[in-house]
Chains A and B, each alone.
Chain A
């Protein structure tokens, strides 16, 4: 079984559309994350959720909204897609957030490659 799974793997859409990416983890972790990786491979954290509460929200446009129905799922909804949103989006999870020990090791999904035309 895949520990962190995200769908779809590829997403091609037109500017202005609204789209969602789904993420599920079966590791029993308390914290989930969304990352954006651009064409230069820079990995930028967008959001993290801990027990259904948003705990990090970097300077991300409010067109991006994370939705967590339960601690095993963290979906990413994007409104009014723009060309600059084209990137690979990774979902990840960790047992906890911050601190020492192995609880903050991140497990990444396979990524969703979003292309906005």
Chain B
């Protein structure tokens, strides 16, 4: 079965302190790797899709990268409003996505 492991489980950053979140995956034929943001009491909000090793995507202070075994979500100069849980998921072409348990990010002013 496909597996997704995210680390760290929780991360506290000072405002402006850049860092990276990791998503390691095992999948039989990657069709896509997805990053979502989830705020408390809300549903996951789509951020990025990555399809092949070497691909990168950016959105504001976030940049996602992909290798054959893992993906990183880099957060540059984060702000308090970036505080959320970030979820990673993989798709192998079947009917479901496989999600990690997420990284809870807190950005302190």
A and B are partners in one complex rather than unrelated chains: no
Binding site for B on A (CB under 8 A): none
